[in-house]
Amino acid sequence: MPVNLAAPDSASLLPIEGVRIGVTEAGIRKADRKDLTVVLLDEGCSVSGVFTSNRFCAAPVQICRENLDAAGRVRALLINTGNANAGTGQDGLRRARNTCVALASLLDIQEAQILPFSTGVIMEPLPDERIIAGLPAAIADASPNHWLRAAEGIMTTDTVAKGFSTTTDIGGKQISVTGISKGAGMIRPNMATMLGFIATDACVDQSVLKQLSLRLAQGSFNRITVDGDTSTNDSLVVIASNKAGNVSITDLESPEGQSLQAAMLKVAIQLAQAIVRDGEGATKFITVTVEQGKTEDECCKVAYAIAHSPLVKTAFYASDPNLGRILAAVGYAGIDDLDQAGIDLFLDDVHVATGGGRNPQYQEEDGQRVMKQTEITVRVLLGRGAVSQTVWTCDFSHEYVTINADYRS
């Protein structure tokens, strides 16, 4: 059961002019399951991407990087679930290219104008023939109104489809932003989403879009963790269809650029948080904020040490205010000159620890009250600077073990 998260209504996901989506059941791993999605882009769309830092990156990620670097404007995304095509070597690249060649032929475009994405089991051969056989049905299904179908079509261990939209005004023109994401395990920065796609109809310069996509990743998908495992396939793609009629944004720091950034970041954060809310086995949504640090890096180190600790996560699961585990995680986060006497710990509004120890005013029942909530904020004050960072995570339950012990069966 995801934490305070429901699948979106189809009507709440706004169509983006210039973007059509088709989904089909290609039987890639299991029958009767939407597992193949094509996103068809009109000519003139700008596309940018941010990809996994994993050195064992999947074959489709390698091809995406090549094709985004190439001159050819991207015209289609090809997304399958059921198989990640990672840890598959040269054979994996060949099979991924086969699917791109087939889609290019059906759409009468160049192979290099296609970005492929795969998610699912690692180190098994991609069933490229099944994907190729499914392409005509996926193309025939294409419609501007199929964002929800796409959100469903990219799910693996996700329990709900994830999609959000917003609108904003840019230079007197209303522009729309719609995004979808998937991923519930193997989630950690950098690029935790496994897959995220965000599109806008705004007119944006290509170089600005690239800059924007990095900021979106940094402020959303790169600030979540479920289990600390960085996937081989994590990808965020940002699309601007350039149809909204606004004067094209050439400077991200301009008022128009900032409006667009705010709208897209809002969607990106919702999508990233949705992944945590639907984290494998999650029963609680935890916000970890580290304040008064010297650098962004040290704040993130502390936040992730807390967010990754199995002991902290199981205590949240049990609603057990065994909060010394949080202090222990702060202590081993890797700040060599950290002074424990300068640290304060809050659980929501409850001041748990100060001066390196328990706050004398702290009452266990206050900690217990907060721990029982489904949404909890952990605040750590490092007492050594003015920088803050926030990371979102979930608890660690029996269900996590069950899901990951039985994933392939």
303 near a second copy, rule: CB under 8 A: no
- The 8-class DSSP code of residue 97 comes to H
- Least distance from C-beta 391 to a second copy, angstroms? 17
Q: For tokens 């986060």, what's the residue?
A: 333
Distance of alpha carbon 341 from alpha carbon 325, whole angstroms: 16
Cβ atoms of 245 and 67 closer than 8 Å: no
The CA distance from 125 to 105, in Å, is 23
What is the CA angle 17-233-269, rounded to 5? 55
If binding is defined by CB under 8 A, does position 1 make contact with a second copy?
no
Q: Is the previous residue joined to 242 through a cis bond, with omega within 30 degrees of 0?
A: no
Residues with Cβ within 8 Å of residue 103, at least 6 apart in sequence: 38, 76, 78, 114, 135
The correct pick among 80, 156, 181, 230 for binding a second copy (CB under 8 A) is: 230
**CA 251 to chain centroid:** 25
Q: In the complex, what is the shortest distance from the CB of residue 251 to a second copy, in angstroms, rounded to a whole number? A: 32
Annotated catalytic sites, by residue?
A: 193
Could you say which residues in the range 43-82 bind a second copy, by CB under 8 A? 53-57
Which tokens go with 349?
A: 């509004």
Residue 39 or 299 having the CB closest to a second copy: 299
Phi, psi at 136, each rounded to 5°: -60, -40
Told to check if 349 binds a second copy by CB under 8 A, we report no
Report if residue 186 touches a second copy, rule: CB under 8 A.
Answer: yes
Q: Contact between 309 and a second copy (CB under 8 A)?
A: yes
Using the rule CB under 8 A, give the single segment among 2-10, 34-42, 235-243, 303-311 that binds a second copy: 303-311
Do residues 16 and 264 touch, judged by C-beta distance below 8 A?
no
Quick one: 23 or 300, whose CB is closer to a second copy? 300
| Residue 38 near residue 77, CB atoms below 8 Å | yes
Question: How many residues line the site for a second copy (CB under 8 A)?
Answer: 69
Name the minimum Å distance from CB 89 to a second copy: 3
Non-local (6+) Cβ contacts of 133 within 8 A are: 26
Is 392 a binding residue for a second copy by CB under 8 A? The answer is no
Q: To 5 degrees, how large is the angle CA 191–CA 87–CA 197? A: 30
Q: Is 315 in the site for a second copy (CB under 8 A)?
A: yes
Among the listed residues 72, 136, 255, 357, the single contact to a second copy using CB under 8 A:
357
d(CA 233, CA 182): 12
Q: Among residues 10 and 322, whose Cβ is nearest to a second copy?
A: 322
Kindly state whether residue 320 participates in binding a second copy, applying the rule CB under 8 A: yes
Nearer to a second copy, 76 or 84 (CB): 84
Contact call for residue 314 and a second copy (CB under 8 A): yes
What DSSP element (H or E) covers 46? strand 46-51
Please report whether residue 297 would count as binding a second copy according to CB under 8 A.
Answer: no
185 binds a second copy (CB under 8 A): yes
13/86 with CB nearer a second copy = 86
- Stretch of 108-116, 170-178, 221-229, 263-271 lying at the interface with a second copy (CB under 8 A): 221-229
| Identity of the residue, 131 or 338, whose beta carbon is nearer to a second copy in the bound complex | 338
Q: Give one word for 82, left, alpha or beta, with left for phi > 0 and alpha for psi -120 to 50.
A: left
Q: Could you say whether residue 231 binds a second copy (CB under 8 A)? A: yes
Q: Which is nearer to a second copy, 266 or 294 (CB)?
A: 294
Residue 92 as a binder of a second copy (CB under 8 A): the answer is yes
β-pair type (46-51, 114-121) = unpaired
Question: In the bound complex, what is the minimum distance in angstroms from residue 225's beta carbon to a second copy?
Answer: 11
- Choice from 5, 103, 114, 353 touching a second copy (CB under 8 A): 353
Beta sheet of 19-24, edge-to-edge order = 19-24, 36-41, 76-83, 114-121
Rounded to whole angstroms, the Cα distance separating 279 from 395 reads 9
Residues found near a second copy in the complex (CB under 8 A): 53-57, 84, 86-92, 121-125, 185-186, 188, 227-232, 308-311, 314-315, 317-318, 320, 322-325, 327-332, 335-336, 338-341, 353, 355-358, 396-398, 400-402, 404-409
